Structure 1
């Protein structure tokens, strides 16, 4: 039975997770410490340990929450919708995630670069199952001639690469673009690119 947290406990737990997100996304898992997280959360280290027994526990809680949000845009791909519009919609939802949750994107990227030790089972399990299911839908659209004949897995990979780049390499993108807002231009570019790519 899960113990119900008081309002103060909920607030402290939320502060720890937000601080952990900030610290991990900046320094990576290995470069981060519980002391840094506690300081960023405005709590003592013993107080932090009351809620999470280790740095790994904070990191795992963040990744589990992140993966729910990360999978939602792909889950929303509707097999009964217009194929090109469904794929364009997926790309735009992923771009919006990068715009609105850049720290989460960098946290995920850091975990992957380290070999995904804390989420490897999820990647091979829930993530793979969902991607395979949606890839089958995309393949069906291609077989019916509704979209161009394209490898569905690599199409999904390309959407991940194009959209998450703007969060993971934000400093580089803004250095090159200067005062231009990156996400406005990215949205137009992605729509043009994928519409041309997918049209039979």
Structure 2
């Protein structure tokens, strides 16, 4: 199987857990992305991963205790790359809170759409495993929540976000919205309709932006 650009990128970047990883460990992780991305966690085997990496099963177990451990390292890397990509998107936004939230939401959807292997890698059974037996899912949610909190706090300081908004609660809500629709796109295997994505983004903006005097008059 040929490596996708993201797989090659992970191989070059090295593990967040083991910066000086061996070539064999790196090959195992790249192979694991391919195998999990093709068959999902439940249907993948250590034998398939070892064969794809060109290593023996004993060598696999020298680096990883079992299939779940290598799966968690792979997913940790995916989430790390995903968060880095979204953060870069937000940093390139025009500076307004509205644009930052729009770029964040669309960036999450575009990231998933550009990487079809995530459909199997993050299937429902995989997410159940991560949420019940690992802290990876919680850390991914917290990373996104923290980024949204930063955006909202800057927006309040700039007068672009209502001062009465509870930043923690609103960030939690927007995090859930982002994950729900990104998940829906992954499980459907097709992109969320542009009109729907824009409507969702507008609803998020409306929930946090101040009501201007002209809009108040329109409602009266």
Counterparts of 1:19 and 1:130, CA distance in 2: 28
Gaps of 5+ in 1: 174-181
Q: Counterpart in 1 of 2:68?
A: 56
Which of 193, 197, 200 in structure 2 is aligned with 1:190? 197
Counterparts of 2:71 and 2:20, CA distance in 1: 22
Counterparts of 1:127 and 1:193, CA distance in 2: 19
CA shift, 1:139, in A, is 6.4
Q: Is the 8 A contact 2:31 2:52 kept in 1?
A: yes
CA shift, 1:190, in A, is 1.7
Q: How big is each residue's C-alpha offset from its partner over 1:136-171, in whole Å with a ceiling of 9 and x where there is no partner?
A: 64267379763587933222221222233222331x
Say if 2:174 is the partner of 1:155.
yes
Q: Counterpart in 2 of 1:107?
A: 121
Q: How big is each residue's C-alpha offset from its partner over 1:65-102, in whole Å with a ceiling of 9 and x where there is no partner?
A: 12211322554545992111101111121122102223
Q: How big is each residue's C-alpha offset from its partner over 1:90-128, in whole Å with a ceiling of 9 and x where there is no partner?
A: 1121122102223246424443222524532x4445742
Shift in alpha-carbon separation, 1:126–1:155, aligned structure 2, 3 A: closer
Q: Counterpart in 2 of 1:22?
A: 34
Aligned length: 182
Counterparts of 2:105 and 2:143, CA distance in 1: 19
| TM-score of the superposed pair, with normalisation by structure 2 | 0.62
Q: Counterpart in 1 of 2:108?
A: 94
Shift in alpha-carbon separation, 1:4–1:35, aligned structure 2, 3 A: same
Where does 1:60-75 land on structure 2 (aligned, <5 Å)?
60-73=72-85, 75=87
Shift in alpha-carbon separation, 1:115–1:124, aligned structure 2, 3 A: closer
Higher relative contact order, chain-length normalized (CA < 8 Å, sep 6+): 1
Gaps of 5+ in 2: 1-17, 210-220
